[in-house]
Structure 1
């Protein structure tokens, strides 16, 4: 095929050049700056390869030694990866949780056995974690803010374009800070921290916008002789209602019927065991061994809390608290062990 192509090329393209004498140099036309040359250009001389100083066996042995060295280095790196974090802390939060959770399971198993031994039943109680989702994005840590600024700066520089492309403008490489972008908005954004955060008002939803807040109540309906304490809204379900219906009734007793709620499902979020003690009155215990408290997660949609509703149902006070604030109050009233349950559940 290549012979046929070369024949056609000589036949069709060579005649105009064949009339030119070999002694006449080929020059460019007056109206053109391009140099006319014959169809085939002279081949560049190939560099003569130096003769190897080593034999074939020696070169093969040297190449094999290089491959062996690279393989051993790769295997050494794989072994180092297995132990590179042996001296660094690992699973710190996981071990803290397991240390509490394993002991809690053993304690619950002991309560179940002891209740069977005494022949006493358990009372069912339903508690509600009524949460308001975050309104704004949480604050970025300093390392994440620095990373985003660096990425934004590097994204302003791309690949080098050919010379005939227009040059970049100076404003294309300017990275604005958050404060500069906010200043260019046609409106004034609302503050991320409201006046209620500074005043300490906990009876409003217009606070702690960066995190979740939960409806907590102060009540003495749980048989405590020490007085009312902070906890989640709860009720004792009747035989005619399901656990979810009891959870919805607990919200109505604490906040009224003006709130619009969303229930993720029929299954409870968590369960806790609470044995009755001798300090509780017999009218409250009623020959029960204790309570199995089922916690339901319910999300707030919109609406205002009816302050008259919780007063009618014997609730002393209420507050919209974050997880950290709720844990602090439980630590003061019931100790750190009980506070860990709310810390891991909320």
Structure 2
């Protein structure tokens, strides 16, 4: 009996709600249009959300290309020169400490100097900091600017250059590689042939640049992602797949890219 009363109450409330809804939205042509408009307002955000979380998007002629570029660097071989201001401060600090140093007996100092003398003392002549490559300004050699970082630039056709040879970093258009770093490794391997003397720093790019095509170009826009790689245990590479190449310092590199100099100056530390 109680269950029948509950069912009657539910049915009664449902009929009452339906009658109220019918009075508010009469079954007219305008009412159908209003309902359709309200429904479309609800569906459009849902469709937009589906497109937002979709794993694939329809490709068009204006899609952006993704390019992986490699900033291939040789680390300093010798200790960089000390700045004159830093050198003056260190000399002043040394003289200041000498005034208040602990003095030892002279006999004790002579024994310390005489211990092992002539047994393992090695005489050597330090290598010159200025090499023959520095004197001849041979930018194709790694035996130059030993106290600076050197970066590899190649001369040839690049994506977005309309088939004209330009100076650029080793790069490759992303196609079907597993990751973007794999694409960068392929780009460097095409240039130097072997990656056994290279080390890629991390899996993420160190920076990216968006390049918009000019009005005369038919190519689509591109996003160029830069990956850092370093030279390991060698001073010579058999570089190919290009017309020319150079190893340049940061200051020299910025002269090759005057339009992107401000961005590259921030991305490259030294």
Structure 1 residues 167, 300: closer, same or farther in 2, change over 3 A? closer
**Is the contact between residue 156 and residue 166 of structure 2 (CA under 8 Å) also seen in structure 1?**
yes
2:71 maps to 1:129 = yes
Aligned-residue RMSD, C-alpha: 2.7
Deviation at 1:324, TM superposition (A): 0.5
Structure 1 residues 226, 120: closer, same or farther in 2, change over 3 A? closer
Question: Taking structure 1 as the reference length, what is the TM-score of the superposition?
Answer: 0.52
Question: Residue 31 of structure 2 corresponds to which residue in structure 1?
Answer: none
**Is the contact between residue 122 and residue 292 of structure 1 (CA under 8 Å) also seen in structure 2?**
yes
Question: Residue 95 of structure 2 corresponds to which residue in structure 1?
Answer: 153
Q: Secondary structure of 1:246's match?
A: helix
Question: Taking structure 2 as the reference length, what is the TM-score of the superposition?
Answer: 0.66
Structure 1 residues 159, 123: closer, same or farther in 2, change over 3 A? closer
Q: Given the alignment, which residue of 221, 224, 240 partners 1:293?
A: 224
Structure 1 residues 159, 216: closer, same or farther in 2, change over 3 A? closer
Question: Residue 237 of structure 1 corresponds to which residue in structure 2?
Answer: 174
Structure 1 residues 230, 240: closer, same or farther in 2, change over 3 A? closer
Q: Given the alignment, which residue of 207, 217, 238 partners 1:306?
A: 238
**Is the contact between residue 153 and residue 247 of structure 2 (CA under 8 Å) also seen in structure 1?**
yes
Q: Secondary structure of 1:155's match?
A: helix
Paired residues, number: 198
Question: Residue 345 of structure 1 corresponds to which residue in structure 2?
Answer: 267
Matched residues in 2 for 1:148 and 1:323: separation? 28
Please list, as runs of the form range in 1=range in 2, the aligned pairs for 1:301-340 lying within 5 A after superposition: 301-303=232-234, 304-307=236-239, 310=240, 313=241, 315-331=242-258, 337-340=259-262
2:61 maps to 1:139 = no
Bigger RCO (CA 8 Å, 6+ sep) = 2
- Unpaired runs of 5+ in structure 1? 1-117, 172-183, 332-336
Bigger Cα Rg: 1
Q: Given the alignment, which residue of 256, 265, 282 partners 2:202?
A: 265
Deviation at 1:214, TM superposition (A): 0.7
Q: Could you list the per-position Cα deviations for residues 111-152 of structure 1 after superposition, in whole angstroms to 9, with x for gaps in the alignment?
A: xxxxxxx98311110000011111111111112112222222
Q: Given the alignment, which residue of 151, 157, 173 partners 1:214?
A: 151
**Is the contact between residue 259 and residue 300 of structure 1 (CA under 8 Å) also seen in structure 2?**
no
Q: Could you list the per-position Cα deviations for residues 50-73 of structure 1 after superposition, in whole angstroms to 9, with x for gaps in the alignment?
A: xxxxxxxxxxxxxxxxxxxxxxxx
Matched residues in 1 for 2:130 and 2:124: separation? 18
Q: Given the alignment, which residue of 127, 131, 135 partners 1:194?
A: 131
Matched residues in 2 for 1:221 and 1:263: separation? 22
Deviation at 1:277, TM superposition (A): 2.1
**Is the contact between residue 235 and residue 250 of structure 1 (CA under 8 Å) also seen in structure 2?**
yes
Q: Given the alignment, which residue of 185, 204, 208 partners 2:141?
A: 204
**Is the contact between residue 272 and residue 293 of structure 1 (CA under 8 Å) also seen in structure 2?**
yes
- Unpaired runs of 5+ in structure 2? 1-59, 111-120
Matched residues in 1 for 2:102 and 2:160: separation? 75
Matched residues in 2 for 1:265 and 1:123: separation? 23
